[in-house]
Chain A
Amino acid sequence: QSVLTQPPSASGTPGQRVTISCSGSSSNIGSNYVYWYQQLPGTAPKLLIYRNNQRPSGVPDRFSGSKSGTSASLAISGLRSEDEADYYCAAWDDSLSGPEVVFGGGTKLTVL
């Protein structure tokens, strides 16, 4: 069971806007930055969003991130077939045993 909670699946049609949620607690999302990763089939994850809402160079502005309290969201607008992938959120967690990075369980996005 993952520390951060994501829906296991999401779907949309080309051109649509899709949102993926990530729920945590005060020790992780509530007090630290959120990161989002895209994992295309058979490849390593790739950084999509850092520090809640910042896009690395090369990531299309169709991808956006937001955070409010202990939850975060990834939005993908103008959905394209190549966006079909697994998406993971992550954050540092200030646990009693020392800080560690925690991930969500991942959301499989299907483009219908």
Chain B
Amino acid sequence: EVQLVQSGAEVKKPGESLKISCKGSGYSFTSYWIGWVRQMPGKGLEWMGIIYPGDSDTRYSPSFQGQVTISADKSISTAYLQWSSLKASDTAMYYCVRHSGNYYGSGGPDYWGQGTLVTVSS
């Protein structure tokens, strides 16, 4: 059974750094792209970017380029999303997703993590 298990909720102050995680299991972690999706409170879904754990090829949505860093450690089947300096506007639920296609741009999200709630407040 494919599972994506994310790290727990975080409460941070503006300016702090943060790294959240997403551990995949039940499939070949290095053979599928892993993406991240943001959902701000009461709002819709926004795709942030994607990484191929097999070779760490990483792409970002222009809206999120330079704002976050996506990485992965294939030895422990885990992907990461990190911020170097959080802002209040980063407050949101963040989902990791597995993409169904084998190459970039080929498949949409098929499996979703349970979400990690990030709250940034002074």
Contacts and interface: CB of A to CB of B under 8 A. Distances in A.
A103 B46 contact: yes
A35 B61 contact: no
* Range of interface residues on A (Cβ < 8 Å): 20 to 34
A50 B45 contact: no
* Range of interface residues on B (Cβ < 8 Å): 20 to 34
Given A44-B114, A56-B110, A103 B45 contact: yes
A101 B113 contact: no
Nearest to A98: B59
A100 B47 contact: yes
Interface string B39-76: 00000111100100000000101100000000000000
Contact of B45 (A95, A99, A106): A106
B1 to A, nearest CB: 12
A47 B113 CA distance: 12
Contacts of A2: 44
B45 A47 contact: no
B100 interface: yes
Contacts of B59: 98-100
